[in-house]
C-alpha cells in the first residue's frame, strides 16, 4: 500500500491534489489506508494508454538516434517496429536487436507495420518529408528532436524536444533554489 502523502512527496505536490487528481478517473484508494500499488499502476497505465505495447518507428540513427533506440528497447510499453536512416552504410546494421532500414522504405514499412508514434532524430533538412510520410502511414504522434517549423495534419500531435532549452531551464531552477 502507498498513501497519498507518499505519492505527493515523490511528485512534489500535495496529498489532497493527488487524491483529487486520482478521484477524477475513479475510486482507486481505500479510505484511511491508501492505494494498492499494483492496482494503481495498472489503472494509471490504462488511463495513459500504455497498458498495451505502443508501436513506434525511429528515423535517424546517428549518435542521438542510436542512444534513443538503445534506451527505448528497455522500456516495456514501447515496441520499436523499425529504425530508419538515409545513410546507406548503416542499412542492415543493428542497434541492439533493431536493424536499421533505408528511410526511403518507411512508407511501405508503415503499410505493413502500423505504428502509433514516430521519433525523429535527424537534422532539420528533410524533416517535413519524414513527417508527411509518417502521417500518410497513419502515425498519430511525433516526437521531434529536429527543431524546425513543421506542418502537421489535423489529428497528428507533434512534440519537440530541445535539450538545450531543457538544460537552461534546469540551470535556472537549480540556481533559483540556491537563493
> Is there a single domain that holds both residue 102 and residue 35?
no
Total residue count of the chain as it appears in this document:
179
Lowest mean per-residue pLDDT among 34-38, 55-59, 175-179: 175-179
> Is there a single domain that holds both residue 31 and residue 66?
no
What's the total number of domains in the chain? Answer: 2
Residue 28 CB: number of other CB atoms within 10 A? Answer: 16
Mean pLDDT of 48-76: 93
Mean pLDDT of 138-161: 94
> Is there a single domain that holds both residue 91 and residue 143?
yes
In a domain, 173, yes or no: no
pLDDT attached to residue 178: 66
In a domain, 169, yes or no: no
pLDDT attached to residue 52: 85
Residue 179 has pLDDT above 70, yes or no: no
Amino acid at each position: 500500500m502507498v498513501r497519498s502523502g507518499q505519492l505527493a512527496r515523490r511528485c512534489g505536490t500535495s496529498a489532497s491534489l493527488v487524491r483529487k487528481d486520482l478521484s477524477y478517473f475513479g475510486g482507486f484508494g481505500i479510505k484511511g489506508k491508501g492505494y494498492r500499488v499494483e492496482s494503481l499502476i495498472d489503472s494509471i497505465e490504462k488511463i495513459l494508454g500504455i497498458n498495451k505495447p505502443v508501436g513506434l518507428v525511429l528515423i535517424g540513427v546517428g549518435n542521438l538516434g542510436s542512444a534513443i533506440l538503445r534506451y527505448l528497447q528497455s522500456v516495456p510499453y514501447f515496441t520499436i517496429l523499425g529504425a530508419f536512416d538515409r545513410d546507406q552504410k548503416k542499412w542492415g546494421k543493428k542497434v541492439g536487436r533493431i536493424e536499421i532500414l533505408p528511410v526511403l522504405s518507411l512508407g511501405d514499412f508503415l503499410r505493413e507495420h502500423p505504428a502509433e508514434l514516430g521519433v525523429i532524430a535527424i537534422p532539420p533538412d528533410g524533416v517535413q518529408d519524414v513527417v508527411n510520410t509518417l502521417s500518410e502511414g497513419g502515425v498519430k504522434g511525433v516526437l521531434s528532436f529536429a527543431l524546425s517549423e513543421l506542418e502537421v495534419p489535423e489529428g497528428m500531435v507533434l512534440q519537440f524536444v530541445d535539450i538545450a532549452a531543457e538544460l537552461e531551464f534546469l540551470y535556472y531552477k537549480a540556481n533559483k533554489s540556491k537563493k
